[in-house]
Structure 1
Amino acid sequence: MTKRMQRLLAEVSAHHFPNPSATEEQVAAFEARAGWKLDEDLRAFYLHCNGATLFAPRERAPNYRILPLDEIERARTKMRHEDTDAYGAPSWYTLLYLQDGDYVLVDVTRHDGGGYALLDAFHETYPAGVERIASSFGEFLEKALASGDHFFWLDG
């Protein structure tokens, strides 16, 4: 685990609302079900906490809810209820729930040094308008934690 991820995970534990950690067996079961392996940042996160909410507990409908492993699904199935190419790439999976049916997706094709890119997916236009907002989960988490509970990619 990188020093950056250690720092970010310590911040999540100290100031946010993490779930209990996933076990190696839960990670392996997820990877077998999904058909792809967690990258280094995601593996570190899920072994630290199997999902989390940032800035507010889940009961208060937080802006950022990082999904536990058992809630991560192919985006086109979750958002359009059909597993066809007309509804997005097969490599896009839900990773964060942002309220009102909006998600941040992880693109499980490799990018930038082995990490997976994160994408913004607005429910009303999905799969059109999906945009890359971070090169890795670590980059996303760092920007989210510094955002003051705002969607940093929508600022300005």
Structure 2
Amino acid sequence: MESLLGEISRSHFPNAPATPAQLAAFEARVGWRLDPDLRAFYLHCDGATLFRPRPDADYRILSLAEIQRARIELRGQDDDSKGSASWYTLLYLQDSDYVLVDVARQQDGRYPLLDAWHETYPLEVRRIAASFGEFLERALSSGNQFFWLKE
């Protein structure tokens, strides 16, 4: 993660770091703990855009304050018919599309990331990375393309 975070600082558009108190408040609000990759990212920067600044960025990693349950953000209701309660927004990709983190599943202590295309959510949500670190590595080397759409 350290080299990826250094690249974000050198070549992209990071926000100021979150404080440990902000991380604790976030975890209390959502009811789950950040995994090691997400914790390192948010202590480095509380959100960022990759490749281009706002408002034109295709990759916008949300700040802690912006992360919320996906079914509320995408469907406006906190109801099981609108998606899993364990899916939270993590990146905004323009046009109401998001990358989600699934906090109910972990592999090696890290949460997987999911593609949530607004037109098919929640019926078609697919895993695109095993962790935020993997996602970030692939995104940073993508040349500002959504790497999972080429698979």
Residue aligning to 1:153: 148
User: How far apart, CA to CA, are the structure 2 residues paired with 1:112 and 1:39?
Assistant: 10
User: How far apart, CA to CA, are the structure 2 residues paired with 1:130 and 1:112?
Assistant: 18
Q: Give unpaired runs (5+ residues) of structure 1.
A: none
The structure 2 residue matched to 1:93, chosen from 88, 102, 106, is: 88
- Which TM-score applies when normalising by structure 2? 0.98
User: How far apart, CA to CA, are the structure 2 residues paired with 1:46 and 1:150?
Assistant: 23
Instruction: Determine helix, strand or coil for the equivalent of 1:110.
Output: coil
Residue aligning to 2:8: 12
The structure 2 residue matched to 1:30, chosen from 26, 43, 52, is: 26
**RMSD (Å) for aligned C-alpha atoms:** 0.7
- Residues 115-148 of structure 1: per-residue CA shift (max 9 Å, x gap): 0000000001110110000000000000000000
In structure 2, what residue type is equivalent to 1:112?
Q
- Percent identity between matched residues is 66
In structure 2, what residue type is equivalent to 1:17?
F
Instruction: Determine helix, strand or coil for the equivalent of 1:25.
Output: helix
Displacement over 6 Å in runs of 4+: none
In structure 1, what residue type is equivalent to 2:125?
V
State the aligned residue count. 151
Residue aligning to 2:47: 51
Residue 110 (structure 1) shift:
3.2
